[in-house]
Structure 1
Amino acid sequence: MRCPFCGYEDTRVLDSRELSEGRAIRRRRECPQCHARFTTYERYETGPITVIKKDGRREKFDRKKILNGLLKAFEKRPITVDDMERIVDNIVSQLQKSGTLEVPSELIGKLVMEELRKVDQVAYVRFASVYKDFREIDQFIEVIKELRNEGQI
């Protein structure tokens, strides 16, 4: 693999780990030319998933969009990017197992919220506030009450 820093053709693998129940491999690499280290991920792909947006538009599914949403939700929270990648892998796996090639964006949002609810309540509330388009403080309070009633807080 080419080094993203200096462009050298042949980097070496320092460490490989299976992720997401064997559905992905994380490789830590080093460039012998510039000695930079970086991480790559290898995943298998099934048929392309199309996301149906709220306004009816269709676009190709992009796991990076979920990861970016998680990065915002987990900002300054005690969770690693690898853990976030696992969450994305779980969501993608659920979508692939459904066998549906067209998925409404609402379903993806619900899957993200389910995963966040299990992992971090603060991140869950942050994501919910954007996903559900909170306009009033009462909406935050309602979500927090739901978490309390379920014994998650």
Structure 2
Amino acid sequence: MKCPFCNQDNTRVVDSRPADDNSSIRRRRMCDECKRRFTTYEKVETIPLVVIKKDNSREEYDRSKIEAGVLRACYKRPIPVQKIKELVDNVETELFNREEREIESKVIGEIVMDKLKNLEAVAYVRFASVYREFKDVNTFMDELKKILN
């Protein structure tokens, strides 16, 4: 790491600790030449994920869209916010563990539904009704029968 003050290459780490956001490391460094200190941040580089939508358009993955959909499905249900956060974290972990750069939105929806099914039945049906775009009561009833069996 080059010193930002004297531009020399020989610097060393004198202190490391997690940054405030817990997703990076804060390092205090000192230049062996000019003896000045400076701070750097180290963060894991993630593979950018692109979502292929139903109309074949592509957009960058956005965690907040999954959170919003799950929160709508869980509206007025007795589900702690921590459980919702864990569910979204699990979905995101599963997505990034696939190590694919592009993923279809329907795959994301199926993963979310699978996780919601184990969390809460009403939230699952709410999410499924929007995600699967139920056209009539019969398709809605078919989904309910799957849960009851």
TM > 0.5: yes
**Residues 45 and 142 of structure 1: CA distance in aligned 2, closer, same or farther (over 3 Å):** farther
**Residues 90 and 44 of structure 1: CA distance in aligned 2, closer, same or farther (over 3 Å):** farther
> 1:58 offset after TM fit, Å?
0.6
SS in 1 for 2:77: coil
Q: How far apart are the structure 2 equivalents of 1:121 and 1:97?
A: 26
Q: How far apart are the structure 2 equivalents of 1:101 and 1:146?
A: 33
State the TM-score, normalizing by the size of structure 2: 0.69
- Unaligned 5+ segments in structure 2 are 1-20, 23-42
* Structure of greater Rg: 2
SS in 2 for 1:103: strand
Identity of aligned residues (%): 43
SS in 1 for 2:135: coil
> 1:129 offset after TM fit, Å?
0.4
- Residues 9-58 of structure 1 show CA distances to partners (whole Å, capped at 9, x for unaligned) of xxxxxxxxxxxxxxx95xxxxxxxxxxxxxxxxx9662111001111111
**Residues 49 and 57 of structure 1: CA distance in aligned 2, closer, same or farther (over 3 Å):** same
Q: How far apart are the structure 1 equivalents of 2:94 and 2:117?
A: 16
**Residues 44 and 70 of structure 1: CA distance in aligned 2, closer, same or farther (over 3 Å):** farther
Aligned structure 1 segments of 4 or more residues deviating by more than 3 angstroms:
none
2:127 equivalent in structure 1: 127
- Residues 58-110 of structure 1 show CA distances to partners (whole Å, capped at 9, x for unaligned) of 10000000000011000000112221111111011011111101000000000
SS in 1 for 2:59: strand
SS in 2 for 1:79: coil
- Paired residue type of 1:73: A
State the TM-score, normalizing by the size of structure 1: 0.67
- Paired residue type of 1:135: K
1:55 equivalent in structure 2: 55
Count of residue pairs the alignment pairs up: 110
